[in-house]
Amino acid sequence: MISDMAFSFLGTGSVKAAPVYGCDCIACQRALSNQTYRRQAACGVLEVNGVRFLIDAGYLGLEEKFPPGSLDAVLLTHFHMDHVQGLFPIRWGMGESIPVFSPDDPHGCDDLFKYPGIFDFSKKSLPFEPFHFKGIKITPVPLVHSKLTMGYIVEFNGKRLAYLCDSGVLRRDVEVLLKEHPLDLLILDCDQPPQEKAPRNHNDLTRALDVYKSIQPKQLLLTHISHHLDEYFITHPDCLPDGVAIGLDSQTWTI
C-alpha cells in the first residue's frame, strides 16, 4: 500500500547539537567520526499526496537538495535563526514564488520580510485556525517558547501528524486538542536529558515522555536534540519506551 504521508528529517539538532565546535564529549566525538550522528538545525520534509512541504528551514544546503519547482510550500514554526537560516541562500533565486506559512510575528528574522526574494511571507498561521493547502488540512497550534511559535497538525485521508518544535510544556488547550484526535505520528521538541525543573523553552526527556503518555500518539519522534541529550542516550541505551524513537537526520517515516 502506498502511504499517504512521508516525513523525512533533514535536521534534528538544537543550536548545541553534536558535533559542537571544540567539544570532546562522547556524543560530539561520535558525530565527528560517523556522519550518521551529525545533526543539522531543525528541518523536515513532509510529502502528502504528491505535495511537498518543507517544515522549518534550519538545514544548510537546501538550495542543492531542492531544485526550483520542487517545493510547494514552507511551514515555519518561528523566526529563530536555527529554523530559517536555510532560506537565506534561496531567496535571491529565480522561478515561481514559494508560499511560506508562518506565525504573525512582526519582527521575523533579520531582513527576510524586507527582502523576501522568491518567498511569499503573506500567509499567516493563526492559532487554532485551520487552513487548507491543495486539499490538505493544516491546523497551527500555539507553543510555549521564547518567540511567537506555532506547531502544525497536518491531516489527510484520515492520517494525522503533528510537528511541535520548539516547545516548552504544552498549553492545556493544545494538549486537549491533541488528545481528542489521535495522532499517527508526533514529532516533538526534546532538547535536554532529564532535569529536575522543566526547562522554559524546550522539553527535557522527562517532559517529552510525559507528553507521550498523555497524548498517546502511535509513534513519537524526538527532535531538536542537544549533544548533552545524545550523550545521555549513549550512556542510557534503554531509556525509551516502545513507540518512542530518537530522530536522526536523513530518516524517513511513513504513515
- Closest separation between CB of residue 195 and Zn ion, Å? 17
**Cα–Cα distance between 86 and 90 in angstroms, integer?**
8
Helix pair angle (205-215, 172-180), 10° resolution: 40
Q: Which one of residues 6, 25, 118, 240 is an interface residue with Zn ion (CB under 5 A)? A: 25
Is residue 229 a contact point for Zn ion (CB under 5 A)?
no
Is residue 38 a contact point for Zn ion (CB under 5 A)?
no
The cell for 88 is 537565506
Q: Which one of residues 28, 55, 183, 244 is an interface residue with Zn ion (CB under 5 A)? A: 28
**Cβ closest to Zn ion, residue 5 vs residue 18:** 18
Binding to Zn ion in span 139-198, by CB under 5 A: 166
**Cβ closest to Zn ion, residue 43 vs residue 48:** 43
Spatial contact of 211 and 188, defined as CB atoms under 8 Å apart:
yes
Is residue 32 a contact point for Zn ion (CB under 5 A)?
no
Q: Which stretch binds Zn ion (CB under 5 A): 43-51, 67-75, 88-96, 222-230?
A: 222-230
# of chain residues touching Zn ion (CB under 5 A): 8
**Cβ closest to Zn ion, residue 22 vs residue 50:** 22
Is residue 82 a contact point for Zn ion (CB under 5 A)?
yes
Question: 50-53, long-range: CB within 8 Å, 24+ apart, which pairs?
Answer: 51/133, 51/134, 51/136, 53/133, 53/154
Which residues would be at the binding site for Zn ion (CB under 5 A)?
A: 20, 23, 25, 28, 80, 82, 166, 227
